Amino acid sequence: MTAYDLTSVPNPTYQIDRRHIDAIIWRHALDVKADIATVTAADYAKVIAIPANTWVQGVIVNVHAASTVALSTINVGDSASATQYLSATSTATTGFTAAAATTQKFYGAADYIKVTLGTTAPTSGVIDVTAFMTQLPDYATE
C-alpha cells in the first residue's frame, strides 16, 4: 500500500467568518492516474486537511471522468476509518454520491479526508471530493 499526501496542494476554498465560527467548503479534484502513481488496491491519497475543532457535516463525491475499469470503486474516510464517509463507491460511471447524514463527525485534533482505492482499483478517472465543514472556536485558547 502506498500513501500520497495531497493536502498541501492548493485547492479552491470558500470560507466565511461569522463570530469566530468558520464555515468551510473545501473541494479537491483527484486525478487517479496523475496523483496516485502505483494505482493498486488500498493505495490512498489524503485530499482534504481537517483543522482541529472542526465538525464535518458532509462529504460529496462527483466522478467527472469515469475509470476504464468496469467494477472499480473507492472509499472515502479519515485516519481512523477508510470508510467513514463512503464505502465501495463506483468510479466506473460519472455522477454524484453523497455521504449519509449519519456520517457527520467532530474532530478535536487535526486530521484529513482520504480517498482509498477499492479492491478493484480504478486506473484512471477524475474524482471531485467536496467536504462541508465548520471550524469551531477553541475557547481554551481565547
pLDDT tens per residue across all 142 residues of the chain: 777 776 665 554 545 445 556 778 888 999 988 888 788 889 999 999 999 999 999 999 999 999 999 899 999 999 999 999 999 999 999 999 999 888 999 999 999 999 999 999 898 899 999 999 998 877 655 5
C-alpha to C-alpha distances, 73 to 66, 117, 121, 122, 142, nearest whole angstrom: 11, 6, 6, 7, 44
For the record, the C-alpha cell of 84 comes out as 467513514
pLDDT at 84: 96
CB distance 95 to 59 below 8 Å: no
Indicate left, alpha or beta for 53 from its phi (over 0: left) and psi (-120 to 50: alpha).
Answer: left
What one-letter code names the amino acid at 93? Answer: T
For the record, the C-alpha cell of 137 comes out as 472556536
Residue ranges with strand state E in the chain: 3-5, 13-18, 21-31, 44-50, 54-65, 73-77, 86-90, 95-98, 105-107, 111-117, 126-135
d(CA 85, CA 23): 19
